[in-house]
Amino acid sequence: MEKQALIDKLNRDLADEHAAIIRYLVHGYMEGEDTPLGASLISISREEMWHFHWLGMIIGKLGGEPNFTPALYPYDPTNRATILRSYIEYEERLIPHYNGEAEKTDDPHIRRALEREAWESAIHARKFRRKLDKLSSEEAAGLPGGETRLPGELLDRLQAEVTSKYTEMLQHLRTSWLFQKDGTMGWKIMDQAMEKMKQLAHFAEDIAEDGIAPKLKPGEIDRSNAIGQALKKALEDVRTARERHLKLREDSEVRKHSGLVINLDLTVQQEEYQGAEIEGWLQK
């Protein structure tokens, strides 16, 4: 298979895995991380993140540009039972898909990665089947979510932060994938990407706890072709975010929600650390 054809194929797979991450993560947030179903969904979404990462690393190594537009994830939103059945169907569809791609791939590492995607999809389907079978009749007929209590303006601001952190995280992933040959820089950036994911969760969980599904839609991704430019963009983003969060933390409505204030305290400190680290990398 020609290299560009392989990159295109892997990017389509990347979009499918991206869609799965978003669907399971948002559903998990809506159920609540402290519930058995919510915790399981978030755990599976993290496994999907590794699938996403493996594919992205291969695309970057091949010299390709990763596609960060998620595919559509078809599911029946009628109730928990129909949602979980949709998940089972989605994962089961991926098994022959990935196995078929693996058979057509010459590179042994890429072939093994695709085969792993197939058997982990099979495991996910079994996990969803088990979750479906364990639902009570009341749970199966119901939907996640609760009553809205937060003011609409605050919800909009929290959603804007989800979008910002989501975009920062994807930006860092792109940098780590495309510049993985730059010594340990790729892994350092990957470490910060994982922190961005935790920060995103702080805002997304507050939205979900209010009965609203957080929206994970990426903003514009910078396509820098030099590591120095990519790091300067990362530094600009983290500094801008920190200033915004310092102001948000002092908002009178935000101050009414101690959990949100605690998460903002942590986020601001992490952003100060991240900015200092990136500054150090740029000076070397």
Pair (179, 49) in one structural domain: no
What's the rounded Cα separation, in Å, for the pair 168 and 193? 8
Per-residue confidence at 145, pLDDT binned at 50, 70, 90? confident
Classify residue 147: in a domain, yes or no: no
pTM of the model: 0.94
Give dist(CA 260, CA 149) in Å, integer: 14
Cβ(107)–Cβ(123) under 8 Å?
A: no
Instruction: Give yes or no: residues 127 and 29 share one domain.
Output: yes
**Which residues, 6 or more positions from 59, have their beta carbon under 8 angstroms from its beta carbon?**
7, 10, 11, 14, 65, 66, 177
Tell me, what's the pLDDT at 107?
95
Tokens 């948002």 locate to 26
The pLDDT tens digits of the residues spanning 32-54 come to: 999 999 999 999 999 999 999 99
**Cα(264)–Cα(196) distance, rounded to whole angstroms?**
13
Q: Given a cut of 80, is residue 183 above it in pLDDT? A: no
Same domain for 94 and 176?
A: no
Say whether both 127 and 169 belong to one domain.
no
Mean pLDDT, the chain, whole residue set:
95
Percent of the chain exceeding pLDDT 90 equals: 91
- In tens, the pLDDT along 212-223 reads 999 999 899 999
How far is it, in rounded angstroms, from Cα 62 to Cα 238? 29
CB 217 within 8 A of CB 162: no
124 and 160 housed in the same domain: no
What is the total count of domains within the chain? Answer: 2
> How far is Cα 219 from Cα 281, in angstroms, rounded to an integer?
25
Residue 1, pLDDT above cutoff 90: no
The phi-psi region of residue 32 (left if phi > 0; otherwise alpha if psi is between -120 and 50; otherwise beta) is: left
Residue 191 in this model has a pLDDT that exceeds 80: yes
Domain boundary among 104, 121, 141: 141
Residues 118 and 37 in one domain: yes
Q: In this model, does residue 284 exceed pLDDT 90?
A: no
Q: Does pLDDT of 133 surpass 90?
A: yes
273/200 Cα distance (integer angstroms): 17
* Distant-in-sequence, close-in-space partners of 220: CB < 8 Å, separation ≥ 6: 167
pLDDT of residue 134: 97
Whether 193 is in a domain gets the answer yes
Residues 62 and 164 in one domain: no
So what's the pLDDT on residue 194? 95
| Domain final residue, candidates 75, 108, 141 | 141
Q: Span 6-22, mean pLDDT?
A: 98
Domain contains 146: no
* Cβ atoms of residues 80 and 131 within 8 Å: no
12 and 125 in a single domain? The answer is yes
Please, which pLDDT band fits residue 147 given cuts at 50, 70 and 90? Answer: confident
Give residue 236's pLDDT.
97
Please tell me the predicted confidence (pLDDT) of residue 148: 78
The answer to whether residues 174 and 274 belong to one domain is yes
Percent pLDDT > 70 in the chain is: 100
CATH code: domain of residue 95: 1.20.1260.10
117 and 160 belong to one structural domain: no
Domain span at residue 79 reads 3-141
Is 250 inside a domain boundary?
yes
87 with 189, same domain?
Answer: no
pLDDT the model gives residue 181: 85
Banded model confidence at residue 149, pLDDT cuts 50, 70, 90: confident
Q: What is the pLDDT of residues 223-241, one digit of tens each?
A: 999 999 999 999 999 999 9
- Pair 111, 241 in one domain: no
Q: Which residues of 256-272 are buried (b: 16+ CB within 10 A; e: fewer)?
A: ebeebbebbeebbebbe
Residue 8 lies in a domain: yes
Of 141, 166, 183, which one is at a domain's C-terminal end?
141
As given in the structure block, the two tokens for residue 227 are: 């590591």
Give mean pLDDT, residues 74-81: 97
